[in-house]
Amino acid sequence: MARPTLIAAERRPTRQIHVGSVAVGGGAPISVQSMTITKTADVEGTLAQIYALASAGADIVRCTCNEKEAAEGLAHIVPRSPVPIIADIHFHHEMALAALEAGVQGLRLNPGNLRKEAEIKQVAQEAKDRGVPIRIGVNAGSLHPDLYKRFGGATPEALVESARMELAYFAEVDFDDVKISVKASSVPLMIEAYRLASETFDHPLHLGVTEAGPPPAGLVKGTAGIGTLLAEGIGDTIRYSLTADPVEEVRAGRQLLEAMGLRERKSVDLIACPSCGRAEIDVIGVARAAQEALESRQLPIQVAVMGCVVNGPGEAREADLGIAAGRRRGHLFIKGKIVRVVPEDEMVAALVEEAEKLVAEGIEARLAAADAGAEAEAEADRRMLIEAKGEDANHSAQKVELIRKTIDEGHEPPATSTDLPA
Ligand code: SF4
Protein backbone atom coordinates (compact mmCIF):
# COMPACT_ATOMS: atom_id res chain seq x y z
CA MET A 1 0.00 0.00 0.00
CA ALA A 2 1.39 3.43 -0.96
CA ARG A 3 2.17 5.70 1.97
CA PRO A 4 0.07 8.88 1.99
CA THR A 5 1.90 12.08 1.13
CA LEU A 6 1.19 15.79 0.96
CA ILE A 7 1.63 16.23 -2.75
CA ALA A 8 2.85 19.37 -4.50
CA ALA A 9 -0.52 19.85 -6.25
CA GLU A 10 -2.10 20.63 -2.87
CA ARG A 11 0.34 23.44 -2.14
CA ARG A 12 -0.47 27.12 -2.34
CA PRO A 13 0.80 28.42 -5.67
CA THR A 14 3.65 30.93 -5.41
CA ARG A 15 5.91 32.57 -7.93
CA GLN A 16 9.36 31.05 -8.26
CA ILE A 17 12.70 32.64 -7.42
CA HIS A 18 16.21 31.20 -7.58
CA VAL A 19 18.76 31.37 -4.80
CA GLY A 20 21.80 30.44 -6.87
CA SER A 21 21.00 26.99 -8.25
CA VAL A 22 18.13 26.34 -5.81
CA ALA A 23 14.59 27.10 -6.99
CA VAL A 24 12.27 28.34 -4.23
CA GLY A 25 8.48 28.45 -4.65
CA GLY A 26 6.44 27.77 -7.77
CA GLY A 27 6.22 24.03 -7.10
CA ALA A 28 9.94 23.53 -6.40
CA PRO A 29 10.81 21.02 -3.64
CA ILE A 30 10.63 22.71 -0.24
CA SER A 31 14.19 23.62 0.66
CA VAL A 32 15.94 23.31 4.01
CA GLN A 33 18.02 26.18 5.33
CA SER A 34 20.28 26.76 8.29
CA MET A 35 22.73 29.37 9.47
CA THR A 36 26.38 29.13 10.44
CA ILE A 37 27.36 30.05 14.01
CA THR A 38 31.03 30.69 13.27
CA LYS A 39 32.53 34.13 12.71
CA THR A 40 32.15 34.65 8.97
CA ALA A 41 35.66 36.16 8.93
CA ASP A 42 36.91 32.67 9.91
CA VAL A 43 36.83 31.30 6.37
CA GLU A 44 38.02 27.74 7.04
CA GLY A 45 35.85 27.31 10.17
CA THR A 46 32.79 28.64 8.37
CA LEU A 47 33.38 26.48 5.31
CA ALA A 48 33.78 23.39 7.51
CA GLN A 49 30.39 24.15 9.05
CA ILE A 50 28.79 24.80 5.65
CA TYR A 51 30.06 21.42 4.43
CA ALA A 52 28.66 19.71 7.54
CA LEU A 53 25.30 21.41 6.97
CA ALA A 54 25.25 20.52 3.29
CA SER A 55 26.06 16.88 3.96
CA ALA A 56 23.24 16.76 6.55
CA GLY A 57 20.86 17.94 3.78
CA ALA A 58 20.90 21.76 3.84
CA ASP A 59 19.99 23.24 0.45
CA ILE A 60 20.89 26.84 1.32
CA VAL A 61 23.08 28.27 4.14
CA ARG A 62 22.99 31.76 5.63
CA CYS A 63 26.00 33.51 7.15
CA THR A 64 26.01 36.75 9.08
CA CYS A 65 27.57 39.75 7.35
CA ASN A 66 27.92 42.16 10.23
CA GLU A 67 31.35 43.69 9.65
CA LYS A 68 33.93 44.35 6.94
CA GLU A 69 35.91 41.21 7.86
CA ALA A 70 32.73 39.11 7.45
CA ALA A 71 32.13 40.52 3.96
CA GLU A 72 35.75 39.78 3.06
CA GLY A 73 35.30 36.25 4.43
CA LEU A 74 32.27 35.80 2.19
CA ALA A 75 34.39 36.62 -0.86
CA HIS A 76 36.45 33.50 -0.06
CA ILE A 77 33.57 31.35 1.19
CA VAL A 78 31.04 31.76 -1.63
CA PRO A 79 33.18 30.29 -4.46
CA ARG A 80 34.10 27.26 -2.32
CA SER A 81 30.68 26.57 -0.85
CA PRO A 82 28.76 23.45 -2.01
CA VAL A 83 25.42 25.29 -1.54
CA PRO A 84 24.19 28.85 -2.21
CA ILE A 85 25.06 31.40 0.48
CA ILE A 86 22.73 34.09 1.81
CA ALA A 87 24.14 37.06 3.74
CA ASP A 88 22.18 38.03 6.83
CA ILE A 89 21.96 41.81 7.13
CA HIS A 90 20.87 43.92 10.10
CA PHE A 91 21.25 47.69 10.63
CA HIS A 92 23.96 48.36 8.02
CA HIS A 93 22.96 48.63 4.37
CA GLU A 94 26.63 48.93 3.40
CA MET A 95 27.08 45.34 4.62
CA ALA A 96 24.42 44.27 2.09
CA LEU A 97 26.31 46.07 -0.69
CA ALA A 98 29.60 44.49 0.44
CA ALA A 99 28.01 41.02 0.54
CA LEU A 100 26.73 41.49 -3.01
CA GLU A 101 30.25 42.47 -4.00
CA ALA A 102 31.47 39.23 -2.38
CA GLY A 103 29.16 37.28 -4.70
CA VAL A 104 26.46 35.95 -2.35
CA GLN A 105 23.47 34.28 -3.99
CA GLY A 106 20.92 35.92 -1.69
CA LEU A 107 20.39 38.63 0.92
CA ARG A 108 18.20 38.68 3.99
CA LEU A 109 17.20 42.18 5.10
CA ASN A 110 15.47 42.92 8.39
CA PRO A 111 13.04 45.80 7.76
CA GLY A 112 12.78 46.35 11.52
CA ASN A 113 16.32 47.66 11.82
CA LEU A 114 17.24 48.71 8.27
CA ARG A 115 14.79 51.54 7.95
CA LYS A 116 16.06 54.30 5.68
CA GLU A 117 14.09 54.34 2.44
CA ALA A 118 16.98 55.54 0.29
CA GLU A 119 19.32 52.84 1.62
CA ILE A 120 16.73 50.10 1.13
CA LYS A 121 16.19 51.20 -2.47
CA GLN A 122 19.93 51.34 -3.10
CA VAL A 123 20.34 47.74 -1.93
CA ALA A 124 17.31 46.60 -3.98
CA GLN A 125 18.68 48.33 -7.10
CA GLU A 126 22.08 46.68 -6.64
CA ALA A 127 20.50 43.25 -6.04
CA LYS A 128 18.37 43.74 -9.15
CA ASP A 129 21.39 44.64 -11.27
CA ARG A 130 23.18 41.49 -10.09
CA GLY A 131 20.14 39.18 -10.31
CA VAL A 132 20.28 38.36 -6.59
CA PRO A 133 17.06 37.73 -4.64
CA ILE A 134 16.28 39.28 -1.26
CA ARG A 135 14.35 37.80 1.64
CA ILE A 136 12.28 40.36 3.49
CA GLY A 137 12.89 38.87 6.93
CA VAL A 138 10.35 40.37 9.32
CA ASN A 139 10.80 39.36 12.94
CA ALA A 140 8.24 40.00 15.72
CA GLY A 141 11.06 40.69 18.17
CA SER A 142 12.58 43.47 16.05
CA LEU A 143 9.49 44.95 14.43
CA HIS A 144 9.71 48.57 13.23
CA PRO A 145 8.77 50.73 16.28
CA ASP A 146 6.22 52.76 14.23
CA LEU A 147 4.36 49.60 13.28
CA TYR A 148 4.52 48.36 16.85
CA LYS A 149 2.82 51.56 17.93
CA ARG A 150 0.31 51.65 15.07
CA PHE A 151 -0.88 48.06 15.58
CA GLY A 152 -0.55 48.02 19.36
CA GLY A 153 2.12 45.32 19.32
CA ALA A 154 3.66 42.67 17.10
CA THR A 155 0.37 41.40 15.68
CA PRO A 156 0.05 39.24 12.52
CA GLU A 157 -1.24 42.35 10.72
CA ALA A 158 1.78 44.40 11.84
CA LEU A 159 4.25 41.75 10.65
CA VAL A 160 2.57 41.49 7.25
CA GLU A 161 2.36 45.28 6.94
CA SER A 162 6.12 45.49 7.54
CA ALA A 163 6.73 43.13 4.60
CA ARG A 164 4.22 45.03 2.43
CA MET A 165 5.98 48.36 3.09
CA GLU A 166 9.36 46.88 2.17
CA LEU A 167 7.89 45.42 -1.03
CA ALA A 168 6.56 48.91 -1.88
CA TYR A 169 10.07 50.39 -1.54
CA PHE A 170 11.42 47.60 -3.76
CA ALA A 171 8.69 48.25 -6.33
CA GLU A 172 9.91 51.82 -6.72
CA VAL A 173 13.12 50.46 -8.26
CA ASP A 174 11.16 47.74 -10.06
CA PHE A 175 12.60 44.94 -7.93
CA ASP A 176 10.43 41.93 -7.06
CA ASP A 177 12.85 39.00 -6.80
CA VAL A 178 11.72 38.38 -3.25
CA LYS A 179 10.75 35.83 -0.66
CA ILE A 180 9.18 36.74 2.65
CA SER A 181 9.29 35.58 6.25
CA VAL A 182 7.18 36.79 9.19
CA LYS A 183 8.76 34.93 12.08
CA ALA A 184 7.90 35.04 15.77
CA SER A 185 8.95 33.01 18.77
CA SER A 186 5.26 32.51 19.63
CA VAL A 187 3.91 29.58 17.63
CA PRO A 188 0.27 30.84 17.43
CA LEU A 189 1.44 34.33 16.36
CA MET A 190 3.75 32.91 13.73
CA ILE A 191 1.04 30.63 12.32
CA GLU A 192 -1.47 33.48 12.07
CA ALA A 193 1.10 35.82 10.52
CA TYR A 194 2.06 33.32 7.81
CA ARG A 195 -1.60 32.52 7.07
CA LEU A 196 -2.20 36.23 6.53
CA ALA A 197 1.01 36.59 4.49
CA SER A 198 -0.06 33.71 2.23
CA GLU A 199 -3.39 35.47 1.57
CA THR A 200 -1.64 38.80 0.95
CA PHE A 201 1.38 37.89 -1.20
CA ASP A 202 2.16 35.38 -3.92
CA HIS A 203 5.89 35.50 -3.13
CA PRO A 204 7.53 32.35 -1.77
CA LEU A 205 7.40 32.12 2.02
CA HIS A 206 10.33 31.15 4.24
CA LEU A 207 8.93 29.49 7.39
CA GLY A 208 10.41 29.51 10.86
CA VAL A 209 9.72 29.85 14.55
CA THR A 210 12.44 32.21 15.65
CA GLU A 211 14.44 31.82 18.87
CA ALA A 212 12.74 28.47 19.49
CA GLY A 213 15.41 27.50 22.05
CA PRO A 214 17.26 24.26 22.73
CA PRO A 215 15.81 20.83 21.93
CA PRO A 216 13.48 19.20 22.76
CA ALA A 217 11.25 22.26 23.35
CA GLY A 218 12.79 24.09 20.37
CA LEU A 219 12.12 21.13 18.11
CA VAL A 220 8.54 20.88 19.32
CA LYS A 221 7.89 24.59 18.73
CA GLY A 222 9.52 24.53 15.31
CA THR A 223 7.58 21.45 14.27
CA ALA A 224 4.28 22.79 15.61
CA GLY A 225 4.64 26.04 13.66
CA ILE A 226 6.29 24.86 10.46
CA GLY A 227 4.42 21.54 10.30
CA THR A 228 1.01 23.17 10.77
CA LEU A 229 1.63 25.62 7.93
CA LEU A 230 3.11 22.99 5.60
CA ALA A 231 0.05 20.80 6.16
CA GLU A 232 -2.08 23.76 5.03
CA GLY A 233 -0.01 24.03 1.84
CA ILE A 234 1.84 27.15 3.05
CA GLY A 235 5.63 27.45 2.88
CA ASP A 236 8.35 27.10 0.25
CA THR A 237 11.54 26.95 2.31
CA ILE A 238 12.08 26.28 6.04
CA ARG A 239 14.50 26.81 8.86
CA TYR A 240 14.43 25.44 12.41
CA SER A 241 16.02 28.01 14.77
CA LEU A 242 17.52 25.88 17.52
CA THR A 243 19.96 26.71 20.27
CA ALA A 244 22.08 23.75 19.20
CA ASP A 245 24.61 22.63 16.62
CA PRO A 246 23.05 23.91 13.36
CA VAL A 247 23.41 20.41 11.91
CA GLU A 248 20.51 19.55 14.26
CA GLU A 249 18.42 22.24 12.52
CA VAL A 250 19.06 20.66 9.15
CA ARG A 251 18.33 17.13 10.38
CA ALA A 252 15.06 18.33 11.89
CA GLY A 253 14.09 20.16 8.70
CA ARG A 254 14.81 17.19 6.49
CA GLN A 255 13.09 14.78 8.80
CA LEU A 256 9.97 16.94 8.97
CA LEU A 257 9.75 17.21 5.17
CA GLU A 258 10.40 13.49 4.70
CA ALA A 259 7.88 12.54 7.41
CA MET A 260 5.24 14.69 5.70
CA GLY A 261 6.02 13.22 2.30
CA LEU A 262 7.16 16.62 1.01
CA ARG A 263 10.72 15.59 0.16
CA GLU A 264 12.03 12.32 -1.16
CA ARG A 265 13.47 10.16 1.60
CA LYS A 266 17.27 10.36 1.75
CA SER A 267 17.88 8.80 5.12
CA VAL A 268 16.51 5.95 7.22
CA ASP A 269 13.03 6.26 8.72
CA LEU A 270 13.45 4.37 11.99
CA ILE A 271 10.28 3.21 13.66
CA ALA A 272 10.25 1.34 16.95
CA CYS A 273 7.58 -0.08 19.21
CA PRO A 274 7.05 1.75 22.51
CA SER A 275 7.91 -1.46 24.41
CA CYS A 276 5.62 -3.20 26.86
CA GLY A 277 5.39 -6.21 29.16
CA ARG A 278 6.32 -8.53 26.31
CA ALA A 279 9.60 -6.83 25.42
CA GLU A 280 12.56 -9.20 25.34
CA ILE A 281 15.19 -6.44 25.03
CA ASP A 282 15.85 -2.87 26.09
CA VAL A 283 13.91 -1.45 23.14
CA ILE A 284 14.95 2.15 23.83
CA GLY A 285 18.66 1.23 23.96
CA VAL A 286 18.57 -0.96 20.84
CA ALA A 287 16.51 1.63 18.88
CA ARG A 288 18.98 4.35 19.84
CA ALA A 289 21.98 2.19 18.86
CA ALA A 290 20.28 1.38 15.53
CA GLN A 291 19.51 5.06 14.93
CA GLU A 292 23.13 6.03 15.60
CA ALA A 293 24.47 3.28 13.36
CA LEU A 294 22.08 4.02 10.50
CA GLU A 295 21.70 7.81 10.48
CA SER A 296 25.05 8.57 8.86
CA ARG A 297 24.29 6.16 6.00
CA GLN A 298 22.14 7.35 3.15
CA LEU A 299 19.63 4.49 3.20
CA PRO A 300 16.16 5.64 2.10
CA ILE A 301 14.19 2.80 3.71
CA GLN A 302 11.95 2.29 6.74
CA VAL A 303 13.53 0.15 9.47
CA ALA A 304 11.68 -1.20 12.50
CA VAL A 305 13.00 -2.18 15.94
CA MET A 306 10.41 -4.26 17.77
CA GLY A 307 10.60 -5.53 21.33
CA CYS A 308 9.21 -9.02 20.78
CA VAL A 309 8.66 -11.61 18.08
CA VAL A 310 5.12 -12.28 19.24
CA ASN A 311 3.72 -9.12 17.70
CA GLY A 312 6.73 -7.29 16.23
CA PRO A 313 7.04 -8.67 12.68
CA GLY A 314 3.27 -8.47 12.18
CA GLU A 315 2.85 -4.96 13.57
CA ALA A 316 5.77 -3.71 11.49
CA ARG A 317 5.01 -5.64 8.31
CA GLU A 318 4.86 -2.41 6.29
CA ALA A 319 8.49 -1.62 7.18
CA ASP A 320 11.05 -2.52 4.55
CA LEU A 321 13.24 -4.13 7.17
CA GLY A 322 13.03 -4.83 10.87
CA ILE A 323 14.29 -6.78 13.81
CA ALA A 324 12.28 -8.28 16.65
CA ALA A 325 13.66 -9.76 19.85
CA GLY A 326 12.89 -13.20 21.16
CA ARG A 327 14.59 -15.60 23.55
CA ARG A 328 17.97 -13.85 23.42
CA ARG A 329 17.91 -13.78 19.64
CA GLY A 330 17.05 -11.22 17.01
CA HIS A 331 14.60 -12.10 14.25
CA LEU A 332 15.41 -10.13 11.13
CA PHE A 333 12.45 -9.58 8.83
CA ILE A 334 11.83 -7.99 5.42
CA LYS A 335 8.26 -6.79 4.78
CA GLY A 336 7.16 -8.96 7.74
CA LYS A 337 8.85 -12.15 6.48
CA ILE A 338 11.59 -13.60 8.72
CA VAL A 339 14.84 -13.94 6.79
CA ARG A 340 17.44 -14.59 9.48
CA VAL A 341 17.82 -15.28 13.20
CA VAL A 342 20.92 -13.81 14.91
CA PRO A 343 22.31 -13.73 18.49
CA GLU A 344 20.93 -10.83 20.57
CA ASP A 345 24.26 -9.00 20.79
CA GLU A 346 24.54 -8.99 16.99
CA MET A 347 21.10 -7.48 16.36
CA VAL A 348 22.19 -3.95 15.48
CA ALA A 349 25.15 -5.06 13.35
CA ALA A 350 22.93 -7.52 11.47
CA LEU A 351 20.30 -4.82 10.94
CA VAL A 352 22.85 -2.41 9.46
CA GLU A 353 24.37 -5.09 7.23
CA GLU A 354 20.96 -6.14 5.92
CA ALA A 355 19.87 -2.50 5.40
CA GLU A 356 22.87 -1.87 3.17
CA LYS A 357 22.28 -5.06 1.18
CA LEU A 358 18.58 -4.26 0.86
CA VAL A 359 19.30 -0.84 -0.64
CA ALA A 360 21.99 -2.26 -2.93
CA GLU A 361 20.17 -5.41 -4.10
CA GLY A 362 16.45 -4.72 -3.65
CA ILE A 363 13.70 -6.41 -1.64
CA GLU A 364 13.04 -9.35 -3.95
CA ALA A 365 16.71 -10.35 -4.07
CA ARG A 366 17.05 -10.17 -0.28
CA LEU A 367 13.87 -12.17 0.28
CA ALA A 368 15.25 -14.81 -2.10
CA ALA A 369 18.47 -14.91 -0.05
CA ALA A 370 16.60 -15.67 3.22
CA ASP A 371 18.02 -18.42 5.46
CA ALA A 372 16.09 -21.62 4.82
CA GLY A 373 15.23 -22.43 8.44
CA ALA A 374 14.66 -18.86 9.66
CA GLU A 375 10.84 -18.88 9.54
CA ALA A 376 10.63 -22.20 11.43
CA GLU A 377 13.16 -21.07 14.07
CA ALA A 378 11.28 -17.82 14.56
CA GLU A 379 7.96 -19.60 14.89
CA ALA A 380 9.46 -21.91 17.54
CA ASP A 381 10.69 -18.87 19.54
CA ARG A 382 7.34 -17.19 19.14
CA ARG A 383 5.44 -20.27 20.38
CA MET A 384 7.71 -20.66 23.42
CA LEU A 385 7.24 -17.00 24.36
CA ILE A 386 3.48 -17.26 24.04
CA GLU A 387 3.54 -20.34 26.28
CA ALA A 388 5.77 -18.56 28.81
CA LYS A 389 3.87 -15.25 28.91
CA GLY A 390 0.50 -16.13 27.43
CA GLU A 391 -1.12 -14.58 24.37
CA ASP A 392 -1.85 -11.43 26.34
CA ALA A 393 1.22 -10.28 28.25
CA ASN A 394 -0.22 -6.80 28.59
CA HIS A 395 -3.35 -8.19 30.26
CA SER A 396 -5.48 -6.34 27.75
CA ALA A 397 -8.11 -9.10 27.67
CA GLN A 398 -8.39 -8.97 31.46
CA LYS A 399 -8.83 -5.19 31.33
CA VAL A 400 -11.50 -5.46 28.63
CA GLU A 401 -13.31 -8.03 30.77
CA LEU A 402 -13.22 -5.64 33.74
CA ILE A 403 -14.50 -2.72 31.63
CA ARG A 404 -17.39 -4.82 30.35
CA LYS A 405 -18.21 -5.95 33.86
CA THR A 406 -18.24 -2.35 35.13
CA ILE A 407 -20.55 -1.25 32.34
CA ASP A 408 -22.84 -4.25 32.70
CA GLU A 409 -23.24 -3.43 36.39
CA GLY A 410 -25.23 -0.36 35.47
CA HIS A 411 -22.84 2.40 34.35
CA GLU A 412 -24.07 2.82 30.77
CA PRO A 413 -21.55 4.52 28.48
CA PRO A 414 -22.66 7.65 26.65
CA ALA A 415 -24.39 6.92 23.33
CA THR A 416 -22.05 9.16 21.31
CA SER A 417 -18.91 11.10 21.99
CA THR A 418 -20.90 14.35 21.87
CA ASP A 419 -22.82 13.20 24.97
CA LEU A 420 -19.61 13.18 27.00
CA PRO A 421 -19.40 15.86 29.68
CA ALA A 422 -17.28 18.88 28.66
S1 SF4 B 1 3.88 -6.43 21.97
FE2 SF4 B 1 6.05 -6.67 21.37
S3 SF4 B 1 6.25 -5.34 19.59
FE4 SF4 B 1 4.36 -4.70 20.60
S5 SF4 B 1 4.95 -3.05 22.03
FE6 SF4 B 1 5.09 -4.97 23.17
S7 SF4 B 1 7.24 -5.59 22.96
FE8 SF4 B 1 6.84 -4.09 21.36
Whether 278 lines ligand 1, by a CB cut-off of 6 Å, is yes
Spatial separation of the C-alpha atoms in residues 376 and 370, rounded to whole Å = 12
Of the residues 232, 259, 286, which one is the last residue of a structural domain? 259
Q: Please check whether residue 100 lies inside any domain of the structure.
A: yes
Which of 31, 32, 116, 104 is CA-nearest to residue 65? 104
**Cα 126–chain centre separation:** 34
More confident residue, 341 or 328: 341
415 domain residue, yes or no: no
2 alpha carbon – ligand 1 mean position (Å):
25
Q: Does 1 score more than 50 pLDDT?
A: no
Same domain, 114 and 64: yes
**3-class SS of residue 51:** helix
Asked if residue 224 has pLDDT above 90, the reply is yes
* Cβ of 308 less than 6 Å from ligand 1: yes
User: Do residue 225 and residue 289 come from a single domain?
Assistant: no
Residue 419 lies in a domain: no
User: Looking at ligand 1, which atom is closest to the CA of residue 308?
Assistant: 2
Asked if the structure places residue 410 within a domain, the reply is no
Domain boundary among 229, 259, 289: 259
392 lines ligand 1 (CB under 6 A): no
- CA–CA dist 29, 342 (Å, integer): 41
Count up the domains in the chain and report the number: 2
Average pLDDT over residues 79-103: 97
Residue nearest to atom 3 of ligand 1 (CA): 312
Residue 304 in contact with ligand 1 by CB distance below 6 A = no
Ligand 1 atom with the shortest distance to the CA of 309: 2
User: Do 222 and 115 share a structural domain?
Assistant: yes
Q: Is the pLDDT of residue 281 over 80?
A: yes
Is the pLDDT reported for residue 394 higher than 80?
A: no
Q: Which of 276, 323, 386 to mutate to test the pocket of ligand 1 (most atoms within 8 A of CB)?
A: 276
Strands, DSSP E only, in 208-262? Answer: 237-238
223 and 279 housed in the same domain:
no
Q: Has residue 348 been placed in a domain? A: yes
**Number of C-beta neighbours around residue 149 at 10 A:** 11
Mean pLDDT of 25-48: 97
Does a structural domain hold residue 137?
yes
Vertex 379, ends 377 and 383: CA angle to 5°? 120
Those residues with Cβ within 8 angstroms of residue 364's Cβ, 6 or more apart along the chain or in another chain: none
- Residue 150's contacts (CB-CB under 8 Å, 6 or more residues apart) are 158, 161
Q: Does one domain contain both 282 and 382?
A: yes
Domain containing residue 158: CATH number: 3.20.20.20
Task: Assess contact for 63 and 85: CB atoms under 8 A.
Answer: yes
Using the Cα atoms of residue 157, residue 160, residue 162 and residue 168 in order, give the sign of their dihedral. Answer: negative
Residue 391 has pLDDT above 80, yes or no: no
Q: Is 230 left (phi over 0), alpha (psi -120 to 50) or beta?
A: alpha
> Is the same domain home to 252 and 292?
no
67 close to ligand 1 (CB < 6 Angstrom)? no
| Range 21-41 average pLDDT | 97
Q: Tens digits of per-residue pLDDT, 357-372?
A: 999 999 999 999 999 9
Residue 8 has pLDDT above 60, yes or no: no
Q: Are residues 118 and 188 in the same domain?
A: yes
| Mean pLDDT across the chain | 91
pLDDT score of 381 = 85
Other Cβ atoms closer than 10 A to 26? 15
Largest CA distance in the chain: 81
Pick the more confident residue, 197 or 376: 197
**Which of 209, 235, 259 is the C-terminal boundary of a domain?**
259
Asked if pLDDT for residue 94 goes beyond 90, the answer is: yes
State mean pLDDT over 259-287. 90
Residue whose Cα lies nearest atom 6 of ligand 1: it is 276
Across the strands, what pairs with 109? Answer: 89, 136
209 and 276 share a domain? no
C-alpha 170/C-alpha 159 separation (Å) is: 17
Angle 374-377-380 (CA atoms, 0-180°, nearest 5)?
150
Which H or E run includes 177?
none
For residue range 293-320, what is the model confidence (pLDDT) as tens digits?
Answer: 998 888 999 999 999 888 888 899 999 9
End-to-end CA, the chain: 38
Query: For residue 417, what pLDDT is reported?
Result: 40
- Decide if 404 is inside a domain: no
- Please answer whether residues 371 and 339 qualify as being in contact, where contact means their C-beta atoms are separated by less than 8 angstroms: yes
Residue 161 to residue 157: CA distance in whole angstroms: 6
Asked if residue 166 has pLDDT above 60, the reply is: yes
What integer pLDDT is reported at residue 416 of this predicted model? Answer: 43
On whether residue 422 sits in a domain, the answer given is no
| Per-residue model confidence (pLDDT) at position 419 | 40
Q: Is the pLDDT score of 395 beyond 70?
A: no
The verdict on 186 and 274 lying in the same domain is no
Mean pLDDT over residues 182-189, rounded?
Answer: 97
Question: So what's the pLDDT on residue 387?
Answer: 81
- Name the strand (E) or helix (H) holding 407: helix 396-408
The range of the structural domain enclosing residue 320 comes to 269-396
Is 0.75 surpassed by the pTM of this model?
yes
- At residue 313, the pLDDT reads 87
Query: Looking at the structure, do residues 251 and 275 belong to the same domain, yes or no?
Result: no
pLDDT tens-place string over residues 139-153: 999 999 999 999 999
248 shares a domain with 337:
no
In total, the chain counts a number of residues equal to: 422
What angle in degrees, to the nearest 10, is found between the helix axes of 117-130 and 93-102? 10
249-269 pLDDT tens trace: 999 999 999 999 999 888 899
Lowest mean pLDDT among 105-119, 130-144, 150-164, 255-269: 255-269
Q: Indicate the range of 92-106, 202-216, 371-385 predicted with least confidence.
A: 371-385
* Atom 2, ligand 1: residue with shortest CA distance: 308
Measured CA to CA in angstroms, residue 27 lies from 23, 236, 273 at distances of 9, 8, 36
Q: Please state the rounded mean pLDDT for residues 123-136.
A: 98
Atom of ligand 1 nearest to the CA of 279: 7
pLDDT > 70: percent of the chain: 93
CATH number of the CATH domain containing 372: 3.30.413.10
- Name which residue sits closest to atom 5 of ligand 1, judged by CA: 275
Q: Does residue 282 share a domain with residue 247? A: no
Region of residue 180 (left: phi > 0; alpha: psi -120 to 50; beta: else): beta
In this prediction, residue 180 has a pLDDT band, given cuts at 50, 70 and 90, of very high
